[in-house]
Amino acid sequence: MTSLADHPIDVAERQLFWRRFREHRLALFSGVLLVIIAMLALLAPLIESAMGIDATRVDLFNQYALPNATHWLGTDEAGRDVFLRLLYGGRISLLVGLVAAFAAAIIGTTIGLLAGYYGGRLDAMLMRTTDGVIALPILPLLIVLAAVDLNKVGVPTAIAESEIVSLYRMMFIIAIVGWTTVARLVRSATLSVRSREFVRAAEAMGARPWRIMARHILPNVVSPIIVATTLSIGSIILLESVLSFLGLGIQPPTPSWGNMLTNAQELITRAPQLAVYPGLMIFVTVIAFNFLGDGLQDALDPRASRR
């Protein structure tokens, strides 16, 4: 049986990482805050059941109710509970951010590894493609892609008109344009790791390129991938919110923080709190992910200055 004593270096590295991360108080607080937000979003059905309220139930006789013992944050223009809709909206916004960020990280990591390991023409072609994607105006491009009629591009009508298709389309669109930062970071790190002795030894022993990249190079370039992915989650949540606010993202009745802002923009003078709550959740979540990314960068980078 393998004991911790068999891997003293790994244990020491984990302890050093945790100690450096704890020194970044804002990152530690942000991590705890994000866990709380995620847990509340995941437990939304249980919270809804415990409160005895249906989050989708329309009650026009209870519009714009102020916070009370039944509705903790009041109700919206349709008499629906704002607190529960924030939780369900958080599930969608966080899901889009996490899935799109991880999908973009997989694409970027693959491209960066191939470009850095093989070099030559493949490197030039992949990096020029990356530069081309970076040069594109992201927000207008996302707006155009989000506005495409799925019925006209061969998607079956049953799928194109389903309530959940906007969620999958949003994650796909953001993932195919959000991989460039990870690709450039992984390529740079791969170029550095490829020249080391253990990689040359693996090549001399006849190891196949895919095995070298997976077993020897990827574990040594995972730090920039983690940092870049964490930082991108906040940006993706912001993009989803912008597109939903413009009516091109997650479509009602599925709630997200972005389309909750859209519904509230016409009621800003009558019920400003309906815009404040989702706006505040977007702000807090994006800032928390940015602080978390900064803390991970300081903890994973041995050259980072101690705070």
Residue-wise pLDDT for 38-75, tens only, equals 999 999 999 999 998 888 888 888 888 888 888 899 89
Range of the domain at 169: 94-307
Report the largest interatomic distance among the alpha carbons of the chain, rounded to a whole angstrom: 77
Do residues 236 and 96 make contact, with C-beta atoms less than 8 angstroms apart? yes
In a domain, 32, yes or no: no
**Domain-embedded: residue 202:** yes
- C-alpha to C-alpha distances, 164 to 36, 174, 253, 258, nearest whole angstrom: 26, 16, 10, 16
Residue 86, Cβ neighbours under 10 Å: how many? 24
What is the reported pLDDT for 1? 38
The answer to whether residue 54 sits within a structural domain is no
Residue with tokens 């108080």: 25
Distances (CA, A) of 288 to 102, 126, 239, 260: 18, 33, 16, 21
pLDDT digits (tens, 9 = 90+) for 266-307: 888 888 888 899 999 999 999 999 999 888 888 876 554 444
Establish if 62 belongs to a structural domain. Answer: no
**Total structural domains within the chain:** 1
Classify residue 96 by its DSSP letter. Answer: H
DSSP label at residue 75: B
Report yes or no on 206 lying in a domain: yes
Tokens of 293: 């990314």
Percent of the chain with pLDDT over 70: 93
**What's the CA gap between 218 and 113, in Å, rounded?**
8
Task: Give the integer Cα–Cα distance in Å for 113 and 40.
Answer: 37
Task: Determine, yes or no, domain membership for 52.
Answer: no
Task: Kindly state the average pLDDT of the residues 180-185.
Answer: 92
CATH number, domain at 166?
1.10.3720.10
- Please indicate, yes or no, if residue 17 is contained in any of the structural domains: no
Contact 86, 260 (CB under 8 A): yes
Lowest-pLDDT choice from 44-48, 139-143, 207-211, 254-258: 139-143
Q: Is residue 105, in this structure, part of any structural domain at all?
A: yes
